[in-house]
Structure 1
Amino acid sequence: MLGLSRVPRRLLWFGLGAFLVACLSVLDMFLPRPWDGVLLAADRELLLVKGVVPGTGGALAGIKAGDRIVGVGRAIVRSPGEVARLLATWRGEKVPYLILRDGKLLELEVRLSTRRLSTPLFLYAAFTGFFFFAVGFFVLVSRPDDAPAGPARVFFILCTLFMLFLVCRLRPASYGFFDGVVLTTGTLSLLALPAAFLHFFLIFPRRQVFSFATSPTGFLADLQRFVNTSPHFFTLLYALPPLTYAVSTAGSRLMGWKLRFLSGAPVASWVLMGDYLVLGLLALLRSLLRAEDARQRRQMGTVFAGTVVGVVPFLLFAVVIPTMSDTEASLAWAVLSFGAVPVAFAYAIVRFQLLDVRVVVRRSLLYTLTTASVTAIYALTLTAANALARHQGLVQSRYFPVLFALLVVALFDPLRRRIQGPVDRFFFRDMVDARKALEELSEALTREFSVARLEDWLTRRLSEIMHLAWVVLYRVEGHRLVASQRRGGLPVELSSERALVRELRDRGGPLRLAQLEGLSLLDEGTASFLAAAREAGARLFVPLVASGELYAFLVVGPKLSDEEVSREELQLLRTVANQGAVGFENARFLAEHTRQMELEKELDIARQVQFSLIPERIVAPAPWRVAARCVPAYQVGGDFYDVLPNSRGECQALVLGDVAGKSVAGAMLMVAAREALRAEAMNATDPARLLSEVNRRLYRRERRMVLALAYLLLCPGGELRYCLAGQPPPLVRRRRGEVEELPMPAFRLPLGALAEAQWDEVRVQLEPGDLVLVYSDGLSDAQGSDGQALGLGPLREVFAAAPSDVEEAVAHVIGFVQQFSGGRKAFDDITVMAVSWEGKA
């Protein structure tokens, strides 16, 4: 019932409705009814006589083939239903029939008899039809998770149509209203049956792939793609039979075409049915010839032999001979051979587990007998003890049976529990192994994060538990997947860009090799890999997917018993794959965490090295005072400040730089820029020349290094000389308290931006108590909690409120920015330098 609950409702209603119609058709054949011996032609609404059974009332009255029944019981009739109602209510032995023959009306007296229309041939057809339905229903319930257009569901539809065709279309005709409904249902099944037959053998055991040319182009390429991949191909197959029927009947009625009918359908429909059956047999033969191993060949060979035995005589006696000789008397012979088809399928299902249906009838029977024996011991012990006690008169209380039953349960329940375990392990060993495998996997995942151990469990240990010949794991490493071991002709690695890898990632569940055959048309790498897997005997591909990412996939070989992998085992593999994927994900997270910790340790070392290059304090010549601080956005950064050697000893040279880049890359560039500055500062005679030389060293066409720089010279008498190369203008707070920007140089391009550039020097005279703020753009661009930048206006206000001491002024500005950011990670490196001249006016 669990499998039945997962079957689509529409499919169940279709099967139930068809089964009820078939049952009513059989029941109708056993109901007694008045019978005149007249057999109607295919177009029953015309009430045209096709023939008369010898010795019946119609034959004795003189009714002949070709007559048309116009009236019955002195009433005009227009349909078989009206004839049935009149005959059912007629009182008397003879009924007057009004017959139209050769343009003349004749009245004939017909003696009615009572008869049941069932015949041995019909009973055989009905039995064969219900056998078809039983086999199809068993497969459907056994494989409820089959794809919407998978073999199991198409097989069920095919078997149901066979039942309707045999039970409803090939039954003896009567006048009854229900007879018309049943025959119409049979005709509809006749239209859909050949398409379902061909459809099934085109996808069983896997969808067949046809190649019309080595490298098809144009129309051939479109046709090949349509036949192999388009779902509309099967829609066209199903549409052709009803279209043929509609055109034939419409042509006969509207255009006067002269058509011959065979058992209620135009001959053209029967010819098309024959064509479909032949194509289905050819598709089945192609699958047999392309079978991958001996077991599959035995499966396909049994089905092919039974289908040929059943279908070929049907084609001969039901299609070829009737259409050629204008008679359908041979139709009965066709039905006799048809029983071989369901018998062949039933045998293949039981013997070879065809369609992946695991038949456990023998095990289930033995299991039931064993558990029933334990139950019988309960009952016999209880009955015998109760009878003995009553017979001996030991106990007269009416509560004794209840109390004794409780005692027996208390004594035998431990025994039952002890027996139940070995019984389960003996009869359902696979399920016990499955539970054991899941327990082992759970333990492995909780204590192991080693990729090598996970690979070993998913290959060697899984092979042992599921009794597999071999399992190969392909693990993702960058843009390729590498095999855990060599196996036959399987490639050692596979590109992650292949269609096979994308399909496994998207599907996320175990897939049989046959389900992936269509991917061979998409790229050559996938085609060669699938060919190698087929040659090695692979059965399944099991992807390991977690959080939408493919970590690996398993290529599963055959079982040692050469049995097919059951549905329960597929579910086990799915569970193992899911937990294995989680294991690989955990292992990757652990590796990434380890690398992150190592990186943080290395960054901490780099931070120490970088800050060892930046002076902790700047000792300026009195009466100058300087303080600076660098706050990187990451552990290390590209901002720096330094004291440079100056060839003119009367002034002290300071720089504040900002390299384009952050984190490790910015730190490396910062070291290179600092060394270039210090090297050129030894020989430069003025700031403009210094910047030109450094620019030449930093500029590279293939890999440029851009440096924003503020160069300051603290000279005697309070003169401040500076050059700017891409840095914002310094701010000065006068002794009187107002804040203003220092003049910007005319040339201030960042260093390294162009091969040739020039810079000019600005000179400013400071007064005692003036405080200058030099900073990188990370200060004015700092973002608040609302994402807005600080800007120059608020920065001037902050600077205006800063203390006069340079150390305290730097701390005040940095503290405000950190408060303004609200604890958010800094957007850019921030460097601040405060300079004051405390000399006399």
Structure 2
Amino acid sequence: MAQTNVLVLDEHRTVPPDLRSALERVGARVHVRTPTDVLAASPGRLPDVTVMLAHAGLSPHTVRAVARRLDDDGRRPSVVAFAEQDLHLLGSHVHAGCDYLVPPFHADLVLARLRNCDERARFSRTMEDVTAHAELLSYERELEIGREIQLGFLPDALPSPPGWEIHVRFRPARTVAGDFYDVFEIVNRRRLALVVADVCDKGVGAALFMALIRSLLRHTAEQSGLQSLIAAELLGEETTWAEHSRAIPVVGATPLLNAVVGTNNYLTRNHIRQGYFATMFFGVLDPGTGNLVYINGGHNPPVLVSASGAEPVLLMPTGPAVGVIPDVDFSLGYAQLSPGDTLFIYTDGVTEARSESGRFFGEEEMLRQLAEAAVRGEELLDHMDGALSEFVGPAEQSDDITMMAVHWRPPGTPAD
């Protein structure tokens, strides 16, 4: 056994001569302290001890307090109570879980007790390590299962109407993410729903709310999309686009509003105490005309990158984040895509990406990179990926990153 550091705890800083002699004979290094000495010591100023010999005249409460103080300082000694004459004092310490040592303090007996304490300490540390490792493996397995379930909520393939390309980059900061995206057809496949959202926070809790919100949005949009189509056909109306009057299109706006408003009301009615909410961009695209009606619920403004080289158009928020304010009104926004344009939708993991020095990528740099990039959808994402990687460098990814590019190919341009 290596040299044992022993703390003798006594109110008067005295050690029975035969006990001290026995400790010295077995090669133990002895430190003598009062309870006050230990409790008042500054962090890092306590001796590194593996065994604490506490005088039985001290109360078990005091001994526990000293043991906790040593534990706080990174020491975890085995506690042994000792008595010289009043052996009855040992009873309360034994009931409190301490080992004990009684006279005569022969060197061989003291050495055996120290060895026993050392072996128990080693066993305890081993069991703690095994338990911690098992818990870590279990947690990692649960996270992996959560990741697989979460990926199941993301679309396996993205619909691409004739003449359109849709590409996504999705990089969680952890095993599971709070970001999500979705692309699906509504209104009897006549409209395309585009969703990019970011649930506040990261990790398992955010991932659970991601799954809930995604399911609510998709189910409500698909169901009310059919209803709005039936109503439009009964009225003999097609979707109209009144750019200047901002009239609400009959087909497309109804499922959009129903989905966002219904999800917001459900979350604020049933889950507001959990404190989770989501910023969200939900657009409904008419692939035949490039008309886009959308709700931006407190989300980073998507960027419409024009093939003509015109200034990028930012699709600003039309309402608050989803899940914060009950019965809130969400306004509709409108945009017009032309052949060759690309709509770039993203989460704040892009603008809030940090360099090794802690500097943010920022919206200004993002717009500069978008202006420099080729406007074709997948090429745009490749360019942004490269710009982000170069900016962040070796720094750890601090937030989930999601980017979606929706590109309308000019006539005569071959598909990939």
1:683 and 2:224 aligned: yes
Match of 1:467 in 2: none
**Contact 1:510–1:573 under 8 Å retained in 2:** no
Amino acid at match of 1:502: A
Q: 2:66 aligns with which of 472, 485, 503?
A: 503
**Contact 1:730–1:742 under 8 Å retained in 2:** yes
CA distance in 1, matches of 2:11, 2:163: 89
Instruction: Using the TM superposition, name which of 569-578 and 660-669 deviates more.
Output: 569-578
Q: 1:836 aligns with which of 404, 407, 414?
A: 407
**Contact 1:658–1:776 under 8 Å retained in 2:** yes
Match of 2:81 in 1: 512
1:623 and 2:284 aligned: no
For the structure 1 residues 510 and 838, does the alpha-carbon distance in structure 2 shift closer, same or farther, using more than 3 Å as the test?
closer
Q: What secondary structure, in the 3-state scheme, does the structure 2 residue paired with 1:753 have?
A: coil
CA distance in 2, matches of 1:610, 1:510: 48
1:499 offset after TM fit, Å? 4.1
**Within-5 A mapping of 1:507-656:** 508=77, 512-513=81-82, 534-535=90-91, 554-556=98-100, 558=102, 563-566=103-106, 569-570=109-110, 573-574=113-114, 576-578=116-118, 580-647=120-187, 649-656=189-196
Match of 2:204 in 1: 664
Match of 2:279 in 1: 708
1:582 offset after TM fit, Å? 4.0
**Contact 1:356–1:564 under 8 Å retained in 2:** no
For the structure 1 residues 501 and 148, does the alpha-carbon distance in structure 2 shift closer, same or farther, using more than 3 Å as the test?
closer
Deviations 1:70-100 (A, max 9, x none): xxxxxxxxxxxxxxxxxxxxxxxxxxxxxxx
CA distance in 2, matches of 1:574, 1:832: 62
Deviations 1:796-821 (A, max 9, x none): 12222333332232233233323322
CA distance in 2, matches of 1:536, 1:148: 18
Match of 2:382 in 1: 811
CA distance in 2, matches of 1:500, 1:359: 20
1:752 offset after TM fit, Å? 0.5
CA distance in 2, matches of 1:690, 1:146: 68
**Contact 1:784–1:821 under 8 Å retained in 2:** yes
**Contact 1:687–1:711 under 8 Å retained in 2:** yes
Deviations 1:186-235 (A, max 9, x none): xxxxxxxxxxxxxxxxxxxxxxxxxxxxxxxxxxxxxxxxxxxxxxxxxx
1:575 offset after TM fit, Å? 5.7
TM-score by length of 2: 0.69
CA distance in 2, matches of 1:510, 1:703: 43
**Within-5 A mapping of 1:707-746:** 707-715=278-286, 716-745=288-317
Identity of aligned residues (%): 24
TM-score by length of 1: 0.36
Give the number of aligned pairs: 332
Consecutive unaligned residues of structure 2, counting only runs of 5 or more, are: 1-7, 28-59, 71-76, 226-253
For the structure 1 residues 616 and 825, does the alpha-carbon distance in structure 2 shift closer, same or farther, using more than 3 Å as the test?
farther
Match of 1:773 in 2: 344
Amino acid at match of 2:159: V
Q: What secondary structure, in the 3-state scheme, does the structure 1 residue paired with 2:387 have?
A: helix
For the structure 1 residues 147 and 696, does the alpha-carbon distance in structure 2 shift closer, same or farther, using more than 3 Å as the test?
closer
Q: What secondary structure, in the 3-state scheme, does the structure 1 residue paired with 2:264 have?
A: helix
For the structure 1 residues 808 and 608, does the alpha-carbon distance in structure 2 shift closer, same or farther, using more than 3 Å as the test?
farther
Match of 2:239 in 1: none
CA distance in 1, matches of 2:147, 2:292: 32
For the structure 1 residues 151 and 829, does the alpha-carbon distance in structure 2 shift closer, same or farther, using more than 3 Å as the test?
closer
Q: What secondary structure, in the 3-state scheme, does the structure 2 residue paired with 1:702 have?
A: helix
Amino acid at match of 2:154: I
Deviations 1:93-149 (A, max 9, x none): xxxxxxxxxxxxxxxxxxxxxxxxxxxxxxxxxxxxxxxxxxxxxxxxxxxx89794
CA distance in 2, matches of 1:754, 1:797: 34
CA distance in 1, matches of 2:321, 2:373: 29
**Within-5 A mapping of 1:155-194:** none
For the structure 1 residues 572 and 718, does the alpha-carbon distance in structure 2 shift closer, same or farther, using more than 3 Å as the test?
same
1:780 offset after TM fit, Å? 0.6
CA distance in 1, matches of 2:309, 2:118: 70
For the structure 1 residues 358 and 659, does the alpha-carbon distance in structure 2 shift closer, same or farther, using more than 3 Å as the test?
closer
**Contact 1:739–1:796 under 8 Å retained in 2:** no
**Contact 1:510–1:570 under 8 Å retained in 2:** no
For the structure 1 residues 834 and 537, does the alpha-carbon distance in structure 2 shift closer, same or farther, using more than 3 Å as the test?
closer
Higher strand content, 1 or 2: 2
1:634 offset after TM fit, Å? 0.4
Higher Cα Rg, which structure: 1
**Contact 2:80–2:99 under 8 Å retained in 1:** no
1:642 offset after TM fit, Å? 0.9
For the structure 1 residues 825 and 583, does the alpha-carbon distance in structure 2 shift closer, same or farther, using more than 3 Å as the test?
farther
**Contact 1:723–1:759 under 8 Å retained in 2:** yes
Amino acid at match of 1:801: E
CA distance in 1, matches of 2:306, 2:154: 29
**Contact 2:185–2:191 under 8 Å retained in 1:** no
**Contact 1:510–1:574 under 8 Å retained in 2:** no
1:829 offset after TM fit, Å? 0.9
1:834 offset after TM fit, Å? 0.4
CA distance in 1, matches of 2:192, 2:359: 37
CA distance in 2, matches of 1:501, 1:636: 41
Consecutive unaligned residues of structure 1, counting only runs of 5 or more, are: 1-144, 153-354, 361-427, 436-493, 518-529, 542-552
**Within-5 A mapping of 1:135-174:** 149-151=12-14
Q: What secondary structure, in the 3-state scheme, does the structure 2 residue paired with 1:656 have?
A: strand
Amino acid at match of 1:589: D
